[in-house]
Structure 1
Amino acid sequence: MKYLITGTAGFIGFHLAHLLLERGDFVVGIDNINDYYDVNLKFARLSESGIDKEKIQDHQPVSSSRFEKYTFVKMDLADKSAMMALFEKEKFDVVINLAAQAGVRYSLINPTAYIDTNVSGFVNILEACRAYPVKHLVYASSSSVYGANTSMPFSTSDNVDHPLSLYAASKKSNELMAHTYSHLFNIPTTGLRFFTVYGPWGRPDMALFLFIEAISKDEPIQVFNHGKMKRDFTYVGDIVEGIKRVADTVPAGSPEWSGDDPDPGSSYAPYKVYNIGNSNPVELMDYIGALEKALGKVAKKEMLPLQAGDVPATFADVTDLMRDTGYKPDTSVETGVAKFVEWYRAFYKK
C-alpha cells in the first residue's frame, strides 16, 4: 500500500510514518515545516526518519537513508497546484491527513492560520482525493469539537455544534466537509477525534513539555483551573496503532442510519468518526505527580483560572473504535510520562 501522510515533521505524523514503514508500506510524507514551534525539533524528527535537512527544498522529493520506502516532500496543503501534481504522480492508496495548525490558545491570537491550513488546506486534500480517487481518507479531528458539551463520556453520537475555540470549529468543519465529499463523490472518509496526545518527540507547546521545561529550570508550572482539570491523556504509541487500524477499516456506510434520527458519527455514506482516547480521565494534579515521580523532583505550582477556549474535562467513549478495530488505547499515564522523560533527557542531554 502507498500512503500519503501529511505532517510527517510533526509529532503524530512522525510516529505514524515509522509504524507504517516498519510494517512494509510505502510512505510519502509532506510538511511545510512552519515555525509555529521550534523548527529544529521538526528537522530532528525528519533526521531520525533518515531525511537529510540539507537536501530539503520546496516540492522536491527527498529519499530516506533509513527507510527505503519513505520519501519526504516539503509542501504546504494550501498550495493546491502542488498537491494536485503530487496526487497525479504518486497514485496514493490511502491518505492520512495529520497536518494542521494546532493549539486552542494560539487560535485566539492568529485565527487566520487555522483557516488557511485546517479549512483551505483540507479542501485541497478533498479535491485531490476526488480527482485522483483513493481507497480511504483518514483525517485528524479533535476532542475539542465537544466544546460546551458536559455529558461524559464524550460520544461520537453527541451533538457537537457548540465549539469554544476557532481551532475546534475548524476541526468540526473538517468533519462536515468530509461528509459532503463522501456523499457526493463516494470517497470513504474517517475522522479521528484525538484526546490529549503526549509522549516522546512531542510538541513544545503542550503541557508535558512546558511542565518539564519549567521544573528543570526550577520555575513554577502554570496549573490552570486551579488544578481542577481532567484529561483523557493518550500515549502517542497507542494513537498511531489506532490510526493504523482505522486506516485498514474502510467505512462502507450504515444501512441502519436514518435521517429521521441522524447519528452524527456515522452515515448512509461511506463516512465515520471515531474517538481515540485512553477512556480513563486523569486528574491534572495526578498527571503532574507522575511527572514529578519520573523526574525525582517536586514542581513549584502557580494556580491560575481556566483559560479562554479551554474545557475542564475530557473523556472519550471508544466503544465504536473497539468494536470496529478490536483496539483500545491502554498505556498508563505513569508509563507514558516516564517514556517521555527518558526521551527528553536523552534528546536535550539533560
Structure 2
Amino acid sequence: MAPVVVTGSAGFLGRLLVEALAERGPVVAIDRLPQAPRPGVTTLRADLLDDDPRVRAALAAAPVVHHLAGCPDVRDPRPDADRHRRRDNVLATRAVLADVGPDAALVVASSSSVYGGSRDGRPCAEADPLRPRGGYARSKVAVERLCAARAASGARVAVVRPFTVAGEGQRPGMALARWIAAAREGRPLQVFGSPRRTRDLTDVRQAVRALVELGELVAAEVPVGTVNLGTGTAVRLGDVVAAIGRVLGAPVRAVVEPAADAEVEHTLADTARLRELLGWVPRTDIDELVARQAAWTGTGIVVAAG
C-alpha cells in the first residue's frame, strides 16, 4: 500500500501524528522545515507551492492525506501576516487539493476560530453560522470553502476544527508554553483579556488519536463532513495558571494584558458529532498536561508515559 501523507509534519500536531501513523504503516512527511529521520517515515523538505514533483507524486498516490500545513498564529505580529495566511493556508490547501488523487481520503485541519467564540456558554456546533474574527480565522473559512467544493464533486473530505490543543511540543508563543517559561523564570504570567476567560483545552495526544481514527473513517467511506475536535469542557485561564503553580511547585502571579480583537472570550466545542463518529471524546487532565509539557521543555520533571 502507498504511504499515508502528512503535510505540516514538522509542526506541533504533525510530529506526533506522523509518529502515530508510522506505527500502522509507511508515512510520507512533508514540511519546509527540516525533520529528524524516523523509522518507516520518508521525509520531504519542500514547500507545497513549489510544484515539487516528489510532493505531487506522494499526494497523487496516497490513500490518506492529513493536511495540517499552514500559518497558525492568531496573533501574528507581522505587517504582512494576511499575505502569509493566504499563501500558507488558502493557496497551499488549493495546491494539495489539486494534487491529491480522486479516490484519496483527505483530512484537513481547520480551526475553532471560524466560530468567533462561544456565546452565552453554549457550545459551538458544526452547523452554527461562522463568524470569523481576524485574518487567521478568515483564512480558515476560505480553506473550508475549498474543501466543500471538492466534497461537492463526490470526493472524500473531512474538515476538522480543533479547539485549543496543548501538550509537549507546543509552539513557544502559545499561552501554556509562555506561561510555563515565565513561571520557571519567576516572571509574572501574561494573561490576555481576563483569567475568567475560558478555553476548550485539548490534550495533543488525544487530538492525534482522534485524527488517526477520523482518517481511517474517511478511508472507509464513512461520511465525516465537518467535525469539532475538543473536549466539550470549558477551562478558565486562571485555573490553568493555578495548575502551573501546583505542578512547578512555585508561586505564580498573573498580570492581565489587553486582548487583541481576534481573541475571543470563550471557546467550547459541541462534541456530539465527534462522539457519534468515534465513540469517545477527548478528556484533558490539566495538571498532567502541564506536567508533560513542562517536562518536554526540560524542567527535570519526570512524567510517566500514557
- Aligned residue identity for 1:70: V
Cα distance change on mapping 1:331 and 1:226 into 2, 3 Å? closer
Cα distance change on mapping 1:202 and 1:218 into 2, 3 Å? same
1:201 CA drift (Å): 1.2
User: 1:8 maps to what in 2?
Assistant: 9
1:212 CA drift (Å): 1.3
User: 2:290 maps to what in 1?
Assistant: 337
The alignment status of 1:192 with 2:160, answered yes or no, reads: yes
The count of corresponding residues between Structure 1 and Structure 2 is: 298
User: 2:98 maps to what in 1?
Assistant: 127
User: 1:155 maps to what in 2?
Assistant: 125
Cα pair 1:107 1:167 within 8 Å, conserved? no
Task: Write the distance in 1 (CA, Å) between the matches of 2:108 and 2:185.
Answer: 37
Cα distance change on mapping 1:181 and 1:316 into 2, 3 Å? same
Q: Deviations over 1:240-275 (max 9, x none)?
A: 000011101128999xxxxxxxxxxxxxxx660110
Cα pair 2:241 2:254 within 8 Å, conserved? no
Helix, strand or coil at the partner of 1:226: coil
User: 1:323 maps to what in 2?
Assistant: 276
Task: Write the distance in 2 (CA, Å) between the matches of 1:346 and 1:78.
Answer: 39
1:215 CA drift (Å): 1.6
Q: Deviations over 1:174-212 (max 9, x none)?
A: 11111101112x210001111110001111111111111
The alignment status of 1:84 with 2:56, answered yes or no, reads: yes
Cα distance change on mapping 1:176 and 1:253 into 2, 3 Å? farther
What fraction of aligned residue pairs are identical, expressed as a percent?
A: 31
Task: Write the distance in 1 (CA, Å) between the matches of 2:288 and 2:225.
Answer: 31
When normalised by structure 1's length, the TM-score is 0.80
Cα pair 1:251 1:271 within 8 Å, conserved? no
Cα pair 2:200 2:232 within 8 Å, conserved? yes
Cα distance change on mapping 1:346 and 1:148 into 2, 3 Å? closer
Q: Deviations over 1:68-115 (max 9, x none)?
A: x21100011122354424435xx1100000111001110774111100
1:347 CA drift (Å): 8.4
When normalised by structure 2's length, the TM-score is 0.91
Task: Write the distance in 1 (CA, Å) between the matches of 2:117 and 2:133.
Answer: 7
Task: Write the distance in 2 (CA, Å) between the matches of 1:25 and 1:251.
Answer: 14
User: 2:242 maps to what in 1?
Assistant: 289
- Aligned residue identity for 1:170: S
Unaligned ranges ≥5, structure 2: none
Farther off after superposition, 233-242 or 76-85? 76-85
Matches within 5 A, 1:1-350: 2-22=3-23, 24-33=24-33, 46-47=35-36, 51=37, 64=38, 67=39, 69-82=40-53, 83-88=55-60, 91-106=61-76, 109=79, 110-129=81-100, 132-147=101-116, 150=119, 152-160=122-130, 162-184=131-153, 186-250=154-218, 272-345=225-298
Task: Write the distance in 2 (CA, Å) between the matches of 1:17 and 1:252.
Answer: 20
Cα pair 1:189 1:251 within 8 Å, conserved? no
Task: Write the distance in 2 (CA, Å) between the matches of 1:251 and 1:92.
Answer: 11
Task: Write the distance in 2 (CA, Å) between the matches of 1:324 and 1:7.
Answer: 25
Cα pair 2:240 2:286 within 8 Å, conserved? yes
1:305 CA drift (Å): 2.4
Task: Write the distance in 1 (CA, Å) between the matches of 2:275 and 2:9.
Answer: 26
Helix, strand or coil at the partner of 1:193: strand
